[in-house]
Amino acid sequence: MSFWVYILRCADGSYYTGHTDNLEERIAKHEAGEIEGYTSTRLPVKVVFSEEFPTRAEALTCERQIKGWSRRKKEALMRRDWAEVSRLARRSHPSRTSG
């Protein structure tokens, strides 16, 4: 069984990140407004990123990581611009200097 992390772009331009074991079904439910909460009040939604994982634990870890990212970093991920993702990761963790 595969698990998926996905990002949806909502009608208001915001992003929603989730994970599932059935990507097509979950997206259909989001699009139909059947999943109460964030996306149901921001329809329509569009899938802008998805990635497959072998375990639910890995998908959940990735989802939580992405949820903590800036909008710019999420957009670099959607473009699969790994150099930009890496650059933005370095910016979010400035080097520490000893004093």
14-63 tens-digit pLDDT: 999 999 999 999 999 999 999 999 999 999 999 999 999 999 999 999 99
**What CATH number corresponds to the domain at position 39?**
3.40.1440
Cβ atoms within 10 A of the Cβ of 8, count?
23
Contact (CB, 8 A) for 7 and 45? no
Residue 99 lies in a domain: no
**Enclosing domain of residue 65:** 3-92
Whether this model's pTM surpasses 0.75? yes
Neighbours of 94 (CB within 10 A): 7
Q: Give the total number of structural domains in the chain.
A: 1
Predicted confidence band of residue 13 (pLDDT cuts 50, 70, 90): very high
Q: Which amino acid would we find at residue 50?
A: S
Rounded CA separation 18/27 (Å): 10
Confidence of residue 97 (pLDDT cuts 50, 70, 90): very low
Tell me the β-bridge partners of 46. Answer: 9
Whether residue 23 contacts residue 3, with contact meaning beta carbons closer than 8 Å, is answered with no
pLDDT higher at 58 or 94: 58
